[in-house]
Amino acid sequence: MEFIDSQIKFIQTFMPAYLRGAWVTIELSLVGVCLGLALGILLALMKISKNKILEFLATCYIEIVRGTPMLVQIMIVYFGLKKIIPDSLGFLKAPMLLCSLSISLNSGAYVAEIIRSGINSIDKGQMEAARSLGLTRSQAMRKVILPQAVKNILPALVNEFITLIKESSIVYTVGVAELMYAGKSIASATYQTVRPFIFAALIYFIMTYSLSKALSLLERRLAND
């Protein structure tokens, strides 16, 4: 009974901090996947382009980002941009902004490969049919190919969002007050090393599990359409 009372008191005391951190985690992940989607579409179109320079640039970016840890990328963006870009308005002093940018740049590389595979999954006859109706290649891609590809890759994009929720935990290293940062702060305040992180892990699990179940429902609905 004493153990249960202790857990209840812990939750009542620190749950607001956990919830604030969880919300920041969701914000970071949502911004990352949205901006990453825009960047991913651009990179995917560049990679399948007949222009060899665009294809080369997209391939280099994707391989470099996918071949290096997100933590390293965050450090480069967080400390590097301040040295090479004038910041008279103080935007680069906001850790949240810089971390959102880092996560978006990372996500864009993975989303690009997801979108490219989705585009390649569409029968080539779709493009030929669209071109025969008088559409340009860009119009056919925008109005015919991409809408079908997005439907096919929607589950993979949701999975990318789930992955970002977990991987965004490393931004606590630069002082962003997300869920992992909340757990670390509570651990420091209570001099406990296990319980604060167990509660943080449970909240991560609740978020990712909920999204996974939502993904399962989405996949079944898409399969029935």
Q: What is the Cα–Cα distance from 141 to 168, expressed in whole angstroms?
A: 32
Is 40 part of a structural domain of the chain?
Answer: yes
Is 8 part of a structural domain of the chain?
Answer: no
The count of domains in the chain is 1
* Contact assessment for residue 196 and residue 180, using Cβ atoms and an 8 Å cutoff: no
Is 11 part of a structural domain of the chain?
Answer: no
Q: What is the Cα–Cα distance from 56 to 53, expressed in whole angstroms?
A: 5
The neighbour count for residue 24, using CB atoms within 10 Å, is 21
Is 5 part of a structural domain of the chain?
Answer: no
Domain that holds residue 75: 20-224
Query: What integer pLDDT is reported at residue 33 of this predicted model?
Result: 85
Is 6 part of a structural domain of the chain?
Answer: no
List pLDDT tens digits, range 159-181.
888 888 888 888 888 878 889 98
List pLDDT tens digits, range 137-161.
777 887 888 778 877 788 888 888 8
Confidence at 218, pLDDT banded by 50, 70, 90: confident
Q: Is residue 59 scored above 80 in pLDDT?
A: yes
Query: In one letter, which amino acid is 37?
Result: L
What is the DSSP secondary structure assignment for residue 191, as one 8-state letter? T
Is 12 part of a structural domain of the chain?
Answer: no
Q: What is the Cα–Cα distance from 59 to 89, expressed in whole angstroms?
A: 34
Tell me the pLDDT of the chain averaged across its residues: 85
Instruction: Give the distance from CA 204 to its chain's centroid.
Output: 15
Average confidence (pLDDT) over 57-67: 94
Is 202 part of a structural domain of the chain?
Answer: yes
Q: What is the Cα–Cα distance from 56 to 42, expressed in whole angstroms?
A: 13
Q: What is the pTM of this model?
A: 0.83
Is 125 part of a structural domain of the chain?
Answer: yes
Query: In one letter, which amino acid is 26?
Result: I
Percent of the chain with pLDDT over 90: 29
CATH of the domain at 83: 1.10.3720.10
Average confidence (pLDDT) over 20-44: 90
> Measuring CA to CA, how many Å separate 16 from each of 11, 179, 183?
9, 11, 12
